[in-house]
């Protein structure tokens, strides 16, 4: 066991769940966080049965009180947090004419994918600073890469979803900002693209497995926390913002 702790949002299924499993196998104590406590408990029980050290933590990343209560619980029980993986996200509507996506739907996507990440990160900063050097990983998407989505030879340029794509581009910018601000505190902040993974998110149409996606995130989360942050990775290779 490493004696280190990791909190993963949206970890009751799919990529978040598999990332929790791989971090647990690497010796981390897992704070498995999600909105649905029933599904979360089932997920936590599955990993506990595999011999992993898992604690369920209810978090609605779009709710200030929920996030504050979760941070207070981790403060009482652990007093520190070595790794935060902001994985929770929603796709929003996908329309044939993306320019017609309702503003309210886009707002909901941003509330989770962007503001939720900021909310959770800020709430857990005291715990990350207590553990420093520490690490924050933002789970983004290749669809948030302006370099890829504007390259006509890259398959990401063929997928144009106004709310989701732009929310992940915004998340990438948030990552850079946090990386600059937190480096003096000994906290590395990086971004991970799990790739087009077969999950409920996309009707299981992705070509990658959750095991592959989780491996890339878990690898990045375990890199030297004292290293320079503000980078975007797919697998183990840095990719363009």
55 — phi, psi (to 5°)? -125, 135
In angstroms, what is the C-alpha Rg of the chain?
17
Q: Which residues pair with 105 in a beta bridge?
A: none
Q: Which entry of 28, 110, 164, 196 is annotated as an active-site residue?
A: 164
Burial class (CB in 10 A: 0-12, 13-18, 19+), 206: middle
Q: Is 168 a catalytic residue?
A: yes
Q: Say how far apart CA 85 and CA 63 lie, in whole Å.
A: 18
Q: Which entry of 13, 168, 180, 207 is annotated as an active-site residue?
A: 168
Q: Is 164 a catalytic residue?
A: yes
Q: Say how far apart CA 126 and CA 89 lie, in whole Å.
A: 23
Any idea which residues carry the catalytic annotation?
164, 168
């Amino acid at each position: 066991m490493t004696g280190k702790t990791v909190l993963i949002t949206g970890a009751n299924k799919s990529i978040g769940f598999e990332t929790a499993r791989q971090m647990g196998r690497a010796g981390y104590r897992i704070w498995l966080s999600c909105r649905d406590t029933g599904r979360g408990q089932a997920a936590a029980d599955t990993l506990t049965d595999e011999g992993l050290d898992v604690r369920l933590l209810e978090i609605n990343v779009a709710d200030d009180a929920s996030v504050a209560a979760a941070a207070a619980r981790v403060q009482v029980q652990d007093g520190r947090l070595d790794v935060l993986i902001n994985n929770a996200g929603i796709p929003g509507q996908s329309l044939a004419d993306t320019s017609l996506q309702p503003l309210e739907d886009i707002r909901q996507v941003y509330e989770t994918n962007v503001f939720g990440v900021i909310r959770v990160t800020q709430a857990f900063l005291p715990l990350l600073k207590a553990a420093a050097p520490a690490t924050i990983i933002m789970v983004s998407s290749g669809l948030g890469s302006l370099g890829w989505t504007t390259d006509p030879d890259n398959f990401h340029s063929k997928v144009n979803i106004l709310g989701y794509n732009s929310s992940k581009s915004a998340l990438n910018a948030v990552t850079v900002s946090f990386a600059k601000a937190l480096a003096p505190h000994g906290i590395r902040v990086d971004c991970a693209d799990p790739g087009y993974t077969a999950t409920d998110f996309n009707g299981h149409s992705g070509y990658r497995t959750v095991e592959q996606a989780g491996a890339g995130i878990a690898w990045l989360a375990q890199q030297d926390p004292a290293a320079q942050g503000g980078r975007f990775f797919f697998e183990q290779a840095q990719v363009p913002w």
